[in-house]
Chain A
Amino acid sequence: MINLFEIARRLSESEVEFVIVGGVAIRGHGGNYVTEDLDICYSRTNENLKRIASVLGPLKPRPRDLPDGLPFVFDWTTLQHGTNFTFETTMGDVDLLGEVKGVGNYDDLVPQSLRIDFDGYSAYLLSIPALIIAKRAAGRPKDEAGLKVLQALLESESDEE
């Protein structure tokens, strides 16, 4: 059962330093995109890696590209040995990004994000202008529709017409 909302809640309650990016961020701003994975950009400090591991550990994370049957050990040191990870978990897929192309790392993203109240917890959501920059920098044809949605939402929020 996919429950990306709950994963984000647990990360927030454990004081993980993260910014929601990608499809969930677009959805949070009002997009109609349906996504099955939670993409977050996270702080790479050891303390933060430990907090992420303590939240995701019980969700039995496993790299999506790892063939079935191969053993995988997940702990905070696993996160020290890479920057970007694509995990499947018991609550849905989670992508951990050390950096977002065109926008930067966690410290760069925070000033370009909004602190949003999610009914009982709060988390950073990457702003629409920053999401547009990230989508453009990624340059993937599959992001074209998402870009159109973001530009329309940005214009709808603008005071000028």
Chain B
Amino acid sequence: MEIMSRTPEEKLLNPRPGSKIAEARDYGIDLTMLAENLRYTPAERIRRNDQAANSMRRFEEAVRNAKTANRLKAR
């Protein structure tokens, strides 16, 4: 009987016990995000990284501005 091999995405979403994938999950790696990333091309993955990095910078700036505003208000 032929056994169908699983796709990388399937392996990440349902890791075999004792596997490196299970080890990563137990360490705290979000395997659903890895599986999601595999749906994109390498170019799309890097573009998405840039978008995420820019978003994080905007969040950091917003938090910084809010803290400054709160400090000024407290005076």
Using CB atoms and an 8 Å cutoff, list the residues of chain A in contact with chain B: 1-5, 8, 23-24, 27-36, 92, 116-119, 125, 144-145, 148-149, 151-157, 159, 161
A154 near B20: Cβ-Cβ < 8 Å: yes
B46 near A1: Cβ-Cβ < 8 Å: no
CB contacts between A and B, total, < 8 Å: 104
Residues of chain A with a CB closer than 8 A to B30's CB: 32
Bound complex: CA of A118 vs CA of B19, how far in Å? 31
A149 near B46: Cβ-Cβ < 8 Å: no
B residues contacting the other copy or chain, number (CB 8 A): 37
Our pick among B24, B45, B47 for the contact of A149 (Cβ within 8 Å) is B24
**Chain A nearest CB: distance from B6 CB in Å?**
7
Using CB atoms and an 8 Å cutoff, list the residues of chain B in contact with chain A: 5-6, 8-9, 11-12, 15-16, 19-21, 23-25, 27-31, 33-34, 37-38, 41-47, 49-50, 52-54, 56-57
Bound complex: CA of A6 vs CA of B15, how far in Å? 36
A117 near B53: Cβ-Cβ < 8 Å: no
Residues of chain B with a CB closer than 8 A to A145's CB: 27-29
Nearest to B31 among chain A residues (CB) is: A152
**Given A148-B29, A149-B24, does the pair A155, B43 have CB atoms closer than 8 Å?**
no
A118 near B53: Cβ-Cβ < 8 Å: no
Residues of chain B with a CB closer than 8 A to A144's CB: 27
Residues of chain B with a CB closer than 8 A to A161's CB: 5-6, 11, 16, 19
**Chain B nearest CB: distance from A156 CB in Å?**
4
